[in-house]
Structure 1
Amino acid sequence: MKLNYSLDDMRLFWVVAQQGSFKLAAQHLGIPPSTLSRRINLLEQSLGLRLLHRDAHRVNLTATGQRYLERCGPLFIELNQVSGELHADKHQAVGKLRISAPINTTYRWLGESLNAFQRHYPNIDIDLSLSNMNIDVSENAIDIAFRVGEPKDPDWIARPLTTISFVLCASTSATQWHALQAIEALEQHPVIIAKPVKTWRLQHNITGQDFEFEPRGNIKLAVDDMAIASQAVVAGLGIGLLPISMASEQIQSGKLVQILPEWQGIPRTAYLMYRDRDNLPLRVRLLIDFMLANPPEAY
């Protein structure tokens, strides 16, 4: 059976039933009473059934109209609730944010930044997924992703937040590596790799010469957590390329030494990533603005 009315016709009937008169319903809907009456007549003609008894002041439901209202009423109540929730998404600082971020980044500064954000916006909740591997942000319905390194998803907007510098380190006890003279010598010694970075891009502090080192047969440990990689370097298992902020703590405590100090890792940028520039829920826009207004210091 083909019906010649729209969902909007049903909604108009529902509003008339709720208001109890065409005049009040027309005022509520912002349309002329004559237009409303004509639309309801068309709905009844399409159904072949009378839904309303009309008099000069009020309308009353027929028995058929009452059954029709009982079936379609919950639908429009739910639709109104959904519309209200969407309105809150757009205009109120409420709801849940789904965020993806690397573990070490979160430990270093992001966790404290998110805590400060939630203190400022107490009605926004956060679902934070930590992984040093780049998860599929679209498949996991992520609102905002934090990434280190050049973004590879062209469909996402990437905003730079800070840079991370790296130095070559060895354990204080691993004296056999302290006096390395040439960067090429790295190929002859065991190294610790923090995935997903498998290629070390280095630059000479004085000459500006670039050197790209891709370990192959000398990888002692490959792990997707920078803190575990740092522990392996401290244990003397191999040479590591570590963030300056992490290495400096171990150097000051006497656990690590910097080797080949004239070479440093080319800084990597930490990005905040989101999908759309427009039509964002307010909670997403607020976090973007908060992070851009309070970026971490380079480390």
Structure 2
Amino acid sequence: MPIKVLFESENCTWIDVIAPSAKDLEELNVKFGINELLLQDTVESNHLPKYDEADGVKFFLARENVSTGRKNLNTISDVSTKLGIFISKKFLISVHRLPTSSIDNALLEVNKSYEIASSITPDRIALMIGLKILQTFDRENERILDIMDKLESNIFLGKGMKQDLIKSLYRIKRKAGLNLRILNISSDWVSNFNKLNLEHVEVMDLVDKQKDAIADYEHLGAQVTNLIGMFLALSDQRNNEAMKILSTFSIYFLPITFIAGLYGMNFNHMPELNYKYGYFICLGVMVLVVIITFIYLKRKKF
């Protein structure tokens, strides 16, 4: 994709590159003097967040949360995409493989501040982008919480326990764990914002935003774990109730089956078989056993 200028003023030029080709990377290297190895980091799919500096250019490699809809959630690439930010005194270059909401939202904020263009510097744009990146994790956290509320209602108020629920909970747990990992390893680029020409309060606002996001995902992970535990406990309880019903029927029919089996034996001498009222007496005994069993179970509140 062609190199695109998003914002330009006397103090700052913001250049954005989406899905750079080898030719684009070479042009960035030649025109802006950006280290070749740092440019390669922006196209490596599973590269971790980092901060580096070379030839007077500061490099922040962050990861932004994205909803990819992938079935497998094994690596951080399944829930996020890279965003590289190169900063010098006069320019900022953002490089990313996919369109990102953080770039779009930061650009809107820059355009709103166009009247005070003199205050817009590469460092300040980088701070805007950094805050927007962390906000993507906040939005994902809110979306997952909404899904969890629906799943919780289905678990406690729904009819029957569907196996799809446990699959959904497991996916949420995997997603929360991967996002938490990204946020933890993002400390490298977040903490190095103090090397930019920004006020200490502004940098601490970014650091606090990261800490809040980490705390939210830790709490989310604990909630999912508890909900999975409740789901399994309720499943066991319902299975136990079913076994209780079967056991109750067994208690009633076991003595009756014993009597039927006793008189079903093929012996030649069984006096009761020839007795005129033997059949009715046998039925009466069976009914009496059922009544006694019922009264016993009723008193035991079984």
TM-score class normalised by the smaller sequence: under 0.3
TM-score, with structure 1 as normaliser: 0.24
TM-score between both structures, scaled by the size of structure 2:
0.24
State the structure with more CA Rg.
2
Q: Which has the higher helix share?
A: 2
